[in-house]
A and B are shown apart, each in its own frame.
Chain A
């Protein structure tokens, strides 16, 4: 039983890894998502950037992996795949820590 579960988990990890490699397919469309424009794009559309929008748009400044790219990697496809892998790693770490936090308290 236990062994079966482990194999199952391995299969899932392989699927996730394969999907991560395929994520650049998601970059093929150049269309921006509705309501996710940058300030420059809004300025082009309207001729001005609303006051409140300008005030709050940049409150969060961490941009190392801005928009699933890497500042120091110019190839956007590689940046996208690395972002996918980093995201997965962070997610597994969060739930691993959560598990230990919650089981220790018991």
Chain B
């Protein structure tokens, strides 16, 4: 899900940089209002945890590999604003230090994972709550499953639009496969495996880690 440089047109990169800077800036401003000593302990633990979790690649259907992000879990533990900041820091480090995801594509990767996942989790959870779903763990499972697939779909659409929008003499300029390929290639593994694993992970680890997070104001 970490898009490398060269896969996206400069226009795509610029658009998502703008969206990400605005979203992360907003989250930062919100978080700043309630900041205390514990906030930074939580942010660093959430961030480190997400970073480590993303290193565990596993094979998925269709012959590629994937990893979970841990972002839905830290969203439930620390709230969406802290989760956006913590995961944005992870993506920046992955790009700058380890070249996992591009620098030009960083805005897009931050948007797909650090922004879209926490917001989807909070949004879906509140809809389910309003709809009367009282079981917290079921809500967690569904919200996490959907958020993982939203991130995968965003990535698939951004990549798949490149050869449709940006060509030269009939040849793709950037990413090579269009939506017909990217959507099944991203969505089948995420719908069948990654989303389920991420959801089980969130539900299982929430209770044991809740006590640590509770120290928050």
Residue from the list A8, A39, A65, A68 in contact with B212, Cβ < 8 A: A8
Residue of A nearest to B67 (CB): A26
* Cross-chain contact A52 with B166 (CB below 8 angstroms): yes
Residue of A nearest to B38 (CB): A5
* Cross-chain contact A95 with B51 (CB below 8 angstroms): no
Residue of B nearest to A68 (CB): B98
**What's the nearest-Cβ distance from chain B to residue A66, in Å?**
5
14 contacts between A and B (CB under 8 A): A26-B57, A33-B66, A35-B185, A50-B172, A50-B174, A53-B175, A59-B102, A63-B99, A68-B100, A87-B51, A87-B52, A87-B94, A96-B44, A98-B43
Q: Does A73 contact B (CB under 8 A)?
A: no
Q: Does A44 contact B (CB under 8 A)?
A: no
* Cross-chain contact B99 with A52 (CB below 8 angstroms): no
**Among B1-9, B19-27, B127-135, B136-144, which stretch is in contact with chain A?**
B1-9
**What's the nearest-Cβ distance from chain B to residue A97, in Å?**
10
How many residues of B sit at the interface, in one of the four size bands? 35 or more
**Interface of A (DSSP majority class):** helix
8 A Cβ contacts from A29-86 to B:
29, 31-36, 39, 42, 45-46, 48, 50-60, 62-63, 65-68, 80, 83-84, 86
B45 contacts across to A, CB distance below 8 A: 9, 12, 16
* Cross-chain contact A33 with B65 (CB below 8 angstroms): yes
What is the bound-complex CA distance between A101 and B78, given in angstroms? 21
Residue from the list B35, B59, B93 in contact with A91, Cβ < 8 A: B93
**What's the nearest-Cβ distance from chain A to residue B4, in Å?**
6
Q: Does B193 contact A (CB under 8 A)?
A: no
